[in-house]
Structure formats: structure tokens, C-alpha cells
Structure 1
Amino acid sequence: MTSKSEFLEAKTTVDDRAVNRRIRDRFLAALRERADRSDGPVRVLELGAGVGSMISRFAAWDGTPDSVRYRAVDVDPDVIAVARDRVPRHLMDRGYEITRDDTAFREDAAAQRDATTRRGDRFVATTAERTGDPDRLEISLEVADLREVSAEADAVIASALLDLVDLECVLPRIRSLLADGGLLYAPCTYAGATGFAPAHPLDDRIERLYHRHMDEVREQPGSSRAGLDLLAAAPAFDYEVLDAGGADWVVRPMTVGENGRGDPSGGTNGEYPAMEATFLRGLLETIDGALADFPADVLDPADRKRWVEARRTQVERGECSMIAHHLDVLMRA
């Protein structure tokens, strides 16, 4: 069974490829504009930060503001524990110098008042010379629920999160945390399509039931059409949609030319990049668990088992490809 932390780490490279560059660049340009009008660091709040992949991604992007105060929160203490170890290592690999400093956020009185701050960790990442990365990145990793967060932010990042929440509850709460003209950047918001190759006779039925489970069965809120729902709901909650674009997950086995190994005549070597086989296994576990909630008169357990086992076998053989449709959305309060 794939743990939550393992799944989140495994999908890092999938998310890296999926990022819509146009939306990202517009987000960073808007952050720089805010930095130019501010005397202090740009304040970024990430909700549902998981194992910290977005922090590392943000630090690697060209065009970020010189000074950023990045507050990352998640309700799960286990994933924050992984992030505490993982994020500093990744930043050091990029050439940052890491300093553990509990006073780094002393100017942010609201953050200091949050009791959840004491359940996390703080450190400062600095670079000696300007490379396009932030010169100074003050990072706070915290165990917190959205309802517990009170500090104002110039931007909120909600990556792969808004398809797992009730938008009517969460959008106004995020709006209350944003400074005037603040940004909501919501990359990797699910938008209603998951497909596998090679084709299987049960594919269409499995996808329909997987989406039905998201919309009607699971206890967790959210929607299989969350990306489109977000665009439709934004005006009602006083957001202006600045831009939106596709950000699809695409996972497939590498060819020989992509990793430089194997028979020079070409073909497929049956290996997935990085930890992406683990990602596919975890995704299949999620789909299998969702399908198992349906009674036999809706989905025969034998059909479910046949489809899942076929996909698992293909993954182990390096024969399975997958695509899932997401939207990256940028909005302004």
C-alpha cells in the first residue's frame, strides 16, 4: 500500500511537467509587481502543502521576487514531518544556504499568534548571488487547518487542493486572508478526465464511476469538475480570473533515447521516470478504493478486479500510460 507521503513524493515530477508555463509566468510577474510596491518580503501562503514539493518548485523558478516569506500549512502532521527534512535538502541541492531561525518571522505578528506555528518549523534559505531564484526565502512549515490561519498574504497557493474542498466554503475563507489585490494561484485543479492506455473494454465505465464517487459517494467534499467549477464560482466570491490553462498529468514509460540506455535500435525500455511507477500504483489504489464503494449491482467486483489487475500488470511491465486533465487557474481578489 502506497502511503500518502510516498504518493506525494512520487507525483512531484508529474506535477513538474504539468505546470502551465504561461499561468506560472503571469503569477510570478504579478508577485514581482507586488514586491516593487512593498518595503518587506512578499508574503506567500500555501494551503495543503503536503511534502513541500511546491516550495522546492517555487524556489527553482526564474523570475521570483528577491525576498519571499513563504508559509506552508497542511492538516497532516506526517506530511509536514517529511517536508521538514525534504525541503531544506532540495534547496541546498540548488545552492541555497539554510539557516534554522525561529526569529525569522518575528515581524509577522499574526503568524506568531497562531498556535499552530509552534507545531512546525522555520528556516531561512539564502543565495549569494542573484540567479533568478529568490535571494532570501523565509520558510515556515506548519500543521494547521485553514480555519486556524489568520495572517494576511499577498498570494495564496492551492496546488491540487481545490478539487478536494467545498468551494463555497473555502473561496471566501481564502479571500479573507488575501491583501487587497492579492492572488490565488490554483495549479493542478482536476477538470474531469482520467484515461489510460492501452485501451481496456471497461475504461469508460470505470472513469464514469470514479467521477461519480468524487461527486456523490465519498465523504470528502470536492468535485470531478472542480477546475470548471472554480472558474464559474470566482465572480460570486469577488475574484477576478486573470488566466487559466491546461495542466495535464501525463505519465508514460521512457524510450531508450530518453534515458540513454538500452538497445540503440530503439523501442521501449519499460521504465518510468523517477518515482512515477509508484505514483501510478498509488493512483490505481485510489481508484480501486473508490470503485469498491459501489454495490455489486452497479459494478461487479469481478469487473473491478479485472480492470485494476490488468492496469497493475501493465505498470509492472512498463506498458501503461496515463493522462489526467487539470487546470492551472490564477485569480485576483
Structure 2
Amino acid sequence: MSDFVEYLTAKRSVDDRALNRRVWDEFVSGLTDRATATDRPLRIVEVGAGVGSMVARLADWERLPGTVSYRAVDVSDECVTAARERVPEWLSAAGYATTVDDGVVTAELPDGDTRFEISFETADAREIVDDADAVIAAAFLDIVDPDRLLASLRDVLRPDGSLYAPCTFDGATHFSPAHPDDGRIESLYHRHMDEIRERPGSSRAARDVLERAPTHGYDVTAVGGGDWVVRPRGGTYPNGEDAFLDHLLATIDGALADYPADTLDPSVPEAWVSTRRAQLADGEFGLVAHHLDLLARLRSPRSPSTG
């Protein structure tokens, strides 16, 4: 298992705690309403699907209505391969009768009321086409160009379809225990997201999406805080969440290494990261990262804007 796949696997329980339940409930309630109003399978597309944690969560929490066709898309072959391996295992553990045929997972609850098919594919989220009732983009809009993605998803969603974007970063990272260099480290880390890294996105992605979604034909229908909160319990981390923190420390370390010495003395991040890694090893390090969970509706051609 690569470090990144291990990070995404550990992130599942972090996201479980973080999801804003009010926004989540509105999203899944909308899925149920839409499923009730049609005699065809509900179509869901997830972009940036990673190792398949979201579809496993929907199934495990029994929030998938009726018959569902689920398309999980990620740009990483490694993630798609991991999802194909993990999702059937997770669904079986959640009580679903699960089969795999030509890479497509079919899962059904014993009562027969919930049945869904999941396909996995490697693709660029900005280049796919579909006719989906809902698109899920979890922890994704902060690592892509939001304008380009919002525009491209109009070719994926049906009119009045839902865009659910939980865990979208919103510009605050806090560490514990306190360290005198925390403020500077946080500021430079966020600046790296905004100005230096080659990958698009920003440290203000959630607010950017709130402002820009209406210009791309979406009405934001719900928004709420959904913070990552990871801390030790009795000197240990549940569910392998130390791997999650280790990956974030490596990400921060890599970002700070891009600064020239006249902007940031290399000894400062070296000492900070070394301290944080020692605290992680001792079960003392914690982190809070602020996110917003967003739910939007793609305006039908005849619907006026409510934004």
C-alpha cells in the first residue's frame, strides 16, 4: 500500500466525523425525493473518488435510496485499483451481498430494498460526460480550478441535479500542542497553495466556490462547517489516523521546502517538522483543518437564480 492510499484509507474515519450532518441530511433527503419521483435507477457520479470511501459510507449508513447506479471517477490509476479492492470488502462487512463482474460491483441488502451497481474508472473529472442526478466532489474543489470544474460538471448533471462538495478547505489550519512558529508555518503553507504549487486550487476554495457557483448556473442550497479534527486518545490514534497526520506533515514539509532561503530559513521548517513528527510518534500531535460542506443545485434552463 502506498503512503497516499494509506492516507486516503485513514481519512475515511476523519471525514466521517467531519461531515456536516445538516448538509449531509439535506443531500441524502434530496436523493430519496429524486428516486421516489422516477422509475429509473438513481444516477450518482463521484469525481475525485479516491479509494471509494464515500460510496462505502453511503452504503454503510444505509442512505442510498432504492436502485442506484454509481460511477466513481479518479485521475489516479492507483486509487482506482485500491477502490476496486476495498469497496467490495467494505460493503460485505456492512452486510451487503456483493458480487463483482468485469470490474463492476453489485451490492444488495438482504431485504432487497437497496441495490446498486458501482463502476470505477480512471479519468479526468473535467472531461467526462454523464446524465447524473447527483455529483459528489469530496475534498476535491480545493485542488482543482473551481471555475473549470463547475463549468464542466454542467455536462455531467441533469437539470436540477445536486452537487455535493463536502470537506472543501476554507483557509485555516491549527496544530496542537502550540508551537511558536505555528502562525508562520500556517501562513506560508496556505500561501504555497495560492501562489506557488503547480496544481490549481487555493486555501480559500470553499469561499471561492460559494461566490462563483451562481455564475456557473448553480444555486447553493446548503452550507455548513465540516472540520477535520484529529487528536490522540490515550496516546494513540484511532483507525490508523496517525498515517493521515504523517501524510499531512509530509505535504506541509514539501510545500515549505519550495521557499527560497531569503523568504524562509530552512532551519525553521526543519525544526518545526522534526518537533511535530516526534510528537506524532509519542501520540501528542493534533490538527484541526477548517472546511465547508457545500450543496448546490444545477439550475434548470427555466429556473431563475436564487443566489
Q: C-alpha deviations, 1:100-138, integer Å up to 9, x for none?
A: 235xxxxxxxxxxxxxxxxxx2121011116xxx71011
Q: SS of 1:236's equivalent?
A: helix
Alignment of 1:108-127 (within 5 A): 121-127=103-109
Indicate whether 1:38 and 2:38 are aligned: yes
State the one-letter code of the partner of 1:316: A
TM-superposed deviation, 1:180: 1.1
Aligned to 1:50: 50
Unaligned 5+ runs, structure 2: 299-307
State the one-letter code of the partner of 1:215: D
Q: SS of 2:223's equivalent?
A: strand
Indicate whether 1:187 and 2:166 are aligned: yes
Asked if the contact 1:2–1:278 (Cα under 8 Å) also holds between the matched residues in 2, the reply is no
Indicate whether 1:281 and 2:263 are aligned: no
1:161 to 140, 144, 154: 140
Q: SS of 2:141's equivalent?
A: coil
Aligned to 1:315: 280
Aligned to 2:218: 239
Q: Distance in 2 between matches of 1:224 and 1:202?
A: 19
Q: Distance in 2 between matches of 1:32 and 1:312?
A: 45
Indicate whether 1:128 and 2:93 are aligned: no
Q: Distance in 2 between matches of 1:324 and 1:224?
A: 11
Unaligned 5+ runs, structure 1: 103-120, 255-268
Q: SS of 1:15's equivalent?
A: helix
Indicate whether 1:149 and 2:106 are aligned: no
2:192 to 191, 208, 213: 213
Q: Distance in 2 between matches of 1:77 and 1:249?
A: 26
Q: SS of 1:275's equivalent?
A: helix
TM-superposed deviation, 1:186: 0.1
Number of residue equivalences: 298
* Shift in alpha-carbon separation, 1:152–1:23, aligned structure 2, 3 A: same
What is the CA RMSD across the aligned residues, in angstroms? 1.3
TM-score scaled to structure 1, two decimals?
0.87
Indicate whether 1:226 and 2:205 are aligned: yes
Asked if the contact 2:126–2:149 (Cα under 8 Å) also holds between the matched residues in 1, the reply is no
Asked if the contact 2:130–2:155 (Cα under 8 Å) also holds between the matched residues in 1, the reply is no
Aligned to 1:249: 228
Post-superposition, which runs of at least 4 consecutive aligned residues in structure 1 deviate over 6 A? none
Aligned to 1:329: 294
Aligned to 1:95: 95
Q: SS of 1:45's equivalent?
A: strand
Aligned to 2:15: 15
Q: Report the identity percentage.
A: 54
Q: C-alpha deviations, 1:48-70, integer Å up to 9, x for none?
A: 11111111111122443111111
TM-score scaled to structure 2, two decimals?
0.94
Q: Distance in 2 between matches of 1:145 and 1:190?
A: 21
Asked if the contact 2:193–2:201 (Cα under 8 Å) also holds between the matched residues in 1, the reply is yes
State the one-letter code of the partner of 1:128: P
Q: Distance in 2 between matches of 1:148 and 1:193?
A: 31
